[in-house]
Amino acid sequence: MCIMDRAALFVDGSNMLYTQRFLGWSIDWKRLREYFAERYNLVSANYYITYKELSDEQIRFQTFLATNGYVVRKKELKKITDRETGKEIHKGNLDIELVVDALTSIDRYDVCILFSGDGDFLPLIRALKSSGKVVHAYSTKGLSAIELVAELGMDFHDLQELRPEIEFTERTNGVLDRKPAEPSDPDSIPTEGEVFTGKPLFIKPYGVFLSNPWNVKALLHISKLGIQQHINNLSDIIRQEDEFKVKVISVKPTPEGYEVGLKLVDEALQNELHQRLASLLPEES
C-alpha cells in the first residue's frame, strides 16, 4: 500500500448494523474514516442506510455521519406482506445504489474499501478487480456470505482485526466522546442458543417453518429433527397441532429481516416423530 493510493470507502449500513450486533461491539464511524484517511488518499466515504421512518434518532446519526466526512445515501423501506408467513415486513436496500456509485466513480480511486458481508456484491468486486482496482472487503466470517469469503484471491478482512482502531469507546483521550447511537431495528432480534416453542406454519420437503416470537422465517430443517431414517414426506409425520421446542442455531440477516435456523430439542416429540415414521414403514415378514 502506498500513502498516495486513492481510495473510496463504501459502507453497507444495514449489513454493518447486523454485524455489530453479532460482534457485540460498536464501530466508531469517525475513527474508522480517520483510520483509512491516514493510510490512503481517501477521495470519498459513502454510507448507505435504509429506514422505516425518519426518526430523530435517524436524523442525529445521519448528521453525525455527514459532519464527519461521509456522503449519506438513504432510502425509506417499503411495507409488503410476506406470502409465506402472512406477516407485514419492511423491504428494501441500497445495494444497487452502492454498485452504481462504485462503478460511475471508478476513475476517481485505485482502491475500493467495502464494508459488507453481503454476497450480492461479489459481481461488483469481480468487475472492479477486472478493471485493475484493488478491493478490500471488511466484515466478519461468522456472518458473511460463504461465497464472498471463499472467492479465489479475495482480500477479506475480519473486523475483529480492526477493533482496537475503530471501536467506539466512552472516552477518547480522557474526554467523554458521545457518538449518536446508530438507529436500531425496533423488532426484537433472535440470538443463537435461544430456546422457544413454535407451531408449524407450513411444511416443505426440506423442513418445516415454525411460528416464533420474532415473526421471522424460522426453519427447522429436516436434518435437524434428530431422525436418522429417510423421510419421504414430512407432511406424513408432522401435525398442525404439534408444538416444537427448538433451539436457534443460526441467524442470518436479510434485506427483509432475518432467517433463523433451528434444531429440535424436544426429546418427547422426537420420539413421537420416530414412532409416526415407523408406523409408515412396511412390516417385515
pLDDT given for residue 71 in this prediction: 95
Q: Is 279 left (phi over 0), alpha (psi -120 to 50) or beta?
A: alpha
Q: Average pLDDT for residues 21-39, to the nearest whole number? A: 92
Place of cell 417385515: 284
**What is the C-alpha separation between 209 and 199, in angstroms, rounded?**
8
Residue 31 parent element (H or E): helix 29-37
Judging by beta carbons within 10 Å of its beta carbon (0-12, 13-18, 19+), is residue 184 exposed, middle or buried? Answer: exposed
118 compared with 47, residue with greater pLDDT = 47
Query: pLDDT of 240-249, one tens digit each?
Result: 789 999 999 9
pLDDT given for residue 230 in this prediction: 84
**What is the C-alpha separation between 208 and 238, in angstroms, rounded?**
9
Q: Where are the alpha helices (DSSP H) in 68-220?
A: 95-104, 122-130, 146-150, 163-166
Q: Average pLDDT for residues 190-218, to the nearest whole number? A: 84
**What is the C-alpha separation between 28 and 11, in angstroms, rounded?**
13
Q: 29, 70 in Cβ contact below 8 A?
A: yes
- Evaluate if residue 16 carries a pLDDT over 70: yes
The SS3 of residue 12 is: strand
178 compared with 107, residue with greater pLDDT = 107
The reply to whether the predicted model has a pTM over 0.75 is no
Q: Which domains does the chain have, with CATH numbers?
A: 6-176 (3.40.50.1010), 195-280 (2.40.50.140)
**What is the C-alpha separation between 172 and 89, in angstroms, rounded?**
39
- Evaluate if residue 117 carries a pLDDT over 80: yes
**176 pLDDT band (50/70/90 cuts)?**
very low
204 compared with 253, residue with greater pLDDT = 204
- Among 73-77, 99-103, 175-179, 187-191, the least confident range: 175-179
* Average pLDDT of every residue of the chain: 84
Residue partners of 142: CB distance under 8 A and separation at least 6:
22
**85 pLDDT band (50/70/90 cuts)?**
low
**174 pLDDT band (50/70/90 cuts)?**
very low
pLDDT given for residue 172 in this prediction: 47
The SS3 of residue 101 is: helix
pLDDT given for residue 88 in this prediction: 62
Cα within 13 Å of Cα(4), Cβ side: 0
